[in-house]
Amino acid sequence: MTTAKPAGTETPILVTGATGKQGGATVRRLLASGRPVRALVRALEAPAAAELAAAGARLVRGDFDDPASLPPAMDGVAAVFGVPPAAFGPSGSDTDLEVTRGRALIDAAVKAGVEQVVFSTVASASTASRGSEGKARIEEYLRDHIALPTVLRPVRFMTNYLGAGGIGLDGISQGVNRHLFPPHEPMQIIALADVAEFAALAFADPARFAGRTLELAGDAPTPVEAAAAISAATGITVRYRQLTDDEAAALSPEIAETKRRWQAGHRWHADIEALRVIHPGLRTLTDWLTESGAAAIRTHLTDT
C-alpha cells in the first residue's frame, strides 16, 4: 500500500473528468487558488488536455475501465475530485458499469491512502430515477470506504443553454429553448463555477465538509423568466417551449420518465439560501449571464 503524503496546500489534488464540465471548472478553480492539480485524462494529447496543461495542471493518464491505471495517478495526492463515470448502452444508462467504474476510483483512492474524496453526482428528488441509481450506489460505497467523503449534488447547469439544442432538448435552437419543465414553475439551476467553488471549500476544510451531502443550486427562475433574462442580456429574442409527452417519449424512455416524475411533483430541493451562507458569492442566472454567459450564448448562436 502506498502511503499518501500529509494533506496540505502544496500537495496536489487529483481531478477526474478533468476535460469535462465539472472537472474542468474544478481544475481551474484550484489552480487559481494556487493548489497543485493532477488532471486525470484518457488521452494526454487531446486538445482539452493540452489546455489544462497550459493552465498549469499536471496531466496523468487514467481510465476507469482500466483500474490498474488509477493507483499510480493517486500516488502522493492529498485528495480526489470525482465525477459520475456515466455509462450508456442501447437501452439507456448502464447502471452496473457506472457503479463498477465508480468503485474502481474509490478502491484506488483507498489503496493509495487517500482519505478525502469529493464526489459530484446529481441532484436528488423525492423519488429515485433510473439514471440516479448508479450514482446512489457509488455514494454509498464512498461513505463506506473513505474517511472524509463529501458528496455534491448539482442541479441543471446554466451552461446547458449552450447545449445541443438540435437534439430537441435544452440549448437554444432557432430562438427557442425546449425542455421538460413547466413554463411557469421554478426550475433550479447552478453555475459550473459554483460547483467548483464548493469543491474547493471542501478541500480547504476537509473536517468541516466530511460526511456532508450538499444539494447544489444557485437560482430558481421559471423557464419563461430564464428565457426573458437571456433575451435581455444577449439582445437576442429567446422563448421557451415545454416538450409534449410524445416529443419526450420520442427522445428516449428515460427522458419521458423524467418528464412524468417532474409533472408528478418530484422536484429538486436545494436550499439556496443555506448554500449562500456557505458560499456568499453563489451566482444567480443574471450573475452568470453578466459574468460570461451572455457572451458565450451570443457566440454560440452566431456560430450555429
pLDDT at residue 154, as a whole number = 97
3.90.1150.10, 1.25.40.10, 3.40.50.150, 3.40.50.720: which CATH number matches 1-154? 3.40.50.720
pLDDT value at residue 131: 60
pLDDT score of 10:
83
pTM comes to 0.92
Q: Which residue has the cell 456515466?
A: 86
pLDDT of the residue at 132: 76
Write down the pLDDT at residue 215: 97
Per-residue pLDDT in tens (0 to 9) along the chain, 304 residues: 334 433 456 899 999 999 999 999 999 999 999 999 999 999 999 999 999 999 999 999 999 999 999 999 999 999 999 997 777 665 667 889 999 999 999 999 999 999 999 999 999 976 555 567 888 999 999 999 999 999 999 999 999 999 865 567 899 999 999 999 999 999 999 999 999 999 999 999 999 999 999 999 999 999 999 999 999 999 999 999 999 999 999 988 888 999 999 999 999 999 999 999 999 999 999 999 999 999 999 998 887 6
Measured from the Cβ of residue 127, the count of other Cβ atoms closer than 10 Å reads 10
**What's the rounded Cα separation, in Å, for the pair 13 and 11?**
7
CATH number 3.40.50.720 is the correct assignment for the domain at 156-191+217-266+283-304? yes
- The confidence score (pLDDT) of residue 126 equals 61
What's the confidence (pLDDT) of residue 127? 57
CB atoms within 10 A of CB 65: 12
Equal fold, 1-154 vs 156-191+217-266+283-304 = yes
Asked if residues 171 and 165 have their Cβ atoms less than 8 Å apart, the reply is yes
Domain residues of the chain, as ranges? 1-154, 156-191+217-266+283-304
